[in-house]
Amino acid sequence: MKAAVMTGIRQMRIVDLPKPSIKNDGDVLLKVAVVGVCGSDIHYYLTGGIGSKYVQYPYLAGHECSATVEAIGKKVKHVRPGDTVAVEPAVSCHECPQCKMGRENTCCNLKFLSVPGELSGCLCEYIVMPEDCCLPTNGRVTHEQAALCEPFTIGVYTIQQSHLAKGDKIAILGSGPIGLSCLTAAKIQSAAGVYMTDKLDYRVEFAKKAGATWAGNPDKGDVVKDILQREPLGADIVCECAGQQNTIDQAVEVLRPGGVLMLVGIHESDRVGFLINHIRRKEITIINVRRQNRCASRAIELVASGRAEIDSFVTHRFKLEQAKEAFDLVADYRDGVVKAMISL
Ligand SMILES: [Zn+2]
Ligand SMILES: [Zn+2]
């Protein structure tokens, strides 16, 4: 089968790999249809690693995908050959203490598509996944929407964990696909004001078009002042989706006392600082988001029912042969890119 593998920093090549086969009775062989290029893929592309996870070349990226069921193991019950599925990239064991607590996203034996040392990625024609990672779309969403549901689910989970109540004011720092997913989920939960920032002007404009109450660029003005001018009491919730020290500091400044700081972004450095006296005096709650837990079906339902409009996030489409082009575009934030999708 064809696959787009990384062979070094900023290097990618189309190669022929052996087609995987079903090994366990609960496995499903999937023909990959569409793969979204994620910020984490780009981290691997540009730096060869995230935190302590370093890639070994050749490395197969990709974890946001939709697929068609090609074949099923003997014990598979919920999907059949021909079904379209959204793929949940996290394979949890369902047996460890974390899984038994309902925390599959922090499963002690978690394996995630494309994470070095765990599972190889989905930028290839076929993958094998356990049945519970195959979420049937019942023809209600397109392949592209099904692939987009993976990042959208992070937004749905983030807003769920923030306990956003109707009428809350929320700031989202970082207006990439995850920030926009938080925006979409927050609006569905009837947030009264959504304030967004990004260092890229085109993403500031994109956030406005996507429904932000206000959006601004922290390099062009004082976004903390701008937001507090509009919301003098401060934000109830801030989602930090940029993974930067600056945005953590801005979040603390923008939050009202008793507010909630959601840490969503992936940081380049292993250590960050907090304005500890601000956090203490304001009694801010800090919640970390580890991908998502048990929100995938809800995300698919929100898209299928039309309540969540995420199609507009897709700004660029490529074929597998153009994978390098897609990665370069996203890595360089060229041509107004928000989400690039690769179809097989
Ligand atoms: Zn992703
Ligand atoms: Zn587990």
Among the bound ligands, the one closest to the CA of 97: 2
- Where do runs of H (alpha helix) occur along the chain? 39-47, 97-100, 143-162, 177-188, 201-209, 223-230, 245-254, 276-282, 296-304, 323-331
Among the bound ligands, the one closest to the CA of 114: 1
pLDDT at residue 98 in the model: 98
pLDDT at residue 171 in the model: 98
Distance CA 159, CA 59 (A): 33
Distance CA 326, CA 342 (A): 8
Is the bond into 58 cis (omega within 30 degrees of 0)?
Answer: yes
Among the bound ligands, the one closest to the CA of 99: 2
pLDDT at residue 52 in the model: 78
Domains of the chain, CATH where assigned: 2-136+310-343 (3.90.180.10), 152-288 (3.40.50.720)
Among the bound ligands, the one closest to the CA of 92: 2
Whole-prediction pTM: 0.96
- CA 118 / ligand 2 centre spacing (Å): 14
Among the bound ligands, the one closest to the CA of 105: 2
Report yes or no: 161 and 287 within 8 Å, Cβ to Cβ. Answer: yes
CA dihedral 111, 113, 115, 119 (to 10 degrees): 60
DSSP string, 79-108: --TT-EEEEP-EE--S-SHHHHTT-GGG-T
- CA 102 / ligand 2 centre spacing (Å): 9
Q: How far is CA 116 from CA 26, 50, 142, in A?
A: 24, 9, 29
Other CB atoms closer than 10 Å to residue 246's CB: what's the count?
Answer: 15
- CA 94 / ligand 2 centre spacing (Å): 5
- CA 133 / ligand 2 centre spacing (Å): 14
Among the bound ligands, the one closest to the CA of 91: 2
DSSP classification of residue 75: T
Per-residue pLDDT of the chain (344 residues; tens, 9 = 90+): 999 999 999 999 999 999 999 999 999 999 999 999 999 999 999 999 887 788 999 999 999 999 999 999 999 999 999 999 999 999 999 999 999 999 999 999 999 999 999 999 999 999 999 999 999 999 999 999 999 999 999 999 999 999 999 999 999 999 999 999 999 999 999 999 999 999 999 999 999 999 999 999 999 999 999 999 999 999 999 999 999 999 999 999 999 999 999 999 988 888 999 999 999 999 999 999 999 999 999 999 999 999 999 999 999 999 999 999 999 999 999 999 999 999 99
- CA 280 / ligand 1 centre spacing (Å): 33
- CA 103 / ligand 1 centre spacing (Å): 19
The number of angstroms, rounded, from the C-alpha of 143 to the middle of its chain's C-alpha atoms is 17
Among the bound ligands, the one closest to the CA of 110: 2
- CA 240 / ligand 2 centre spacing (Å): 28
